[in-house]
Amino acid sequence: MKTRYTRFAAISIIGIIIDQITKTAIDSSMQLFDSIPVVESFFHITYVRNKGAAFSFLSHASWRLPFFITVSIIAALVILIAFRKLRDDQKIAHTSLSMIFSGAVGNLIDRVRLGEVIDFLDVHWYRHHWPAFNVADSLICVGVFLLAIDMMLEEKRLKKV
């Protein structure tokens, strides 16, 4: 039982640290909107800031900051509650919730500290760009993907019982 809490803490802390270190490195070494090609016509490191959520959702709403901070705190608490309800054998779910939690907290830190989120991973195909994102966003997406896998495996487990 304690092993899963140790794993949760380790993944969460490492994820938050990596997220914050990368954002700090970008903020201190680049000017806003600077772009460094890594793989031409496919991937750049591009420094942008996002006041909204995914795809700049609600970026111009006057109430966006308190809303996103509140939603992030509620999401983190829900994740902690959900994690406590997992069985010890649900290791994929443990990992996925740890990743989602660290991503939510990483972006929450930016919102509280800066009022917006630092994004810098710019994936594109020539001039067709996916919105820039960061390590926290990646942790959330991979965590949700792993959680979906765990849910499908859990469904199969329940059918066998």
Catalytic residue from among 19, 119, 122, 150: 119
pLDDT, position 157: 84
Domain ranges, ordered by start, for the chain: 2-160
Known catalytic membership, residue 88: no
pLDDT, position 142: 98
Under 8 Å between Cβ of 120 and 81: no
Of 2, 39, 20, nearest in space to 108 by CA: 20
Residue 99: band (very low, low, confident or very high) from pLDDT cuts 50, 70, 90: very high
Question: Buried b / exposed e across 98-125, counting CB within 10 Å, b at 16+?
Answer: bbbbbbbbbbbbbbeeeebbbbbbbeee
Catalytic residue from among 19, 110, 122, 137: 137
pLDDT in tens, 110-130: 999 999 999 999 999 988 989
Under 8 Å between Cβ of 15 and 98: yes
Known catalytic membership, residue 137: yes
Which pTM value belongs to this model? 0.90
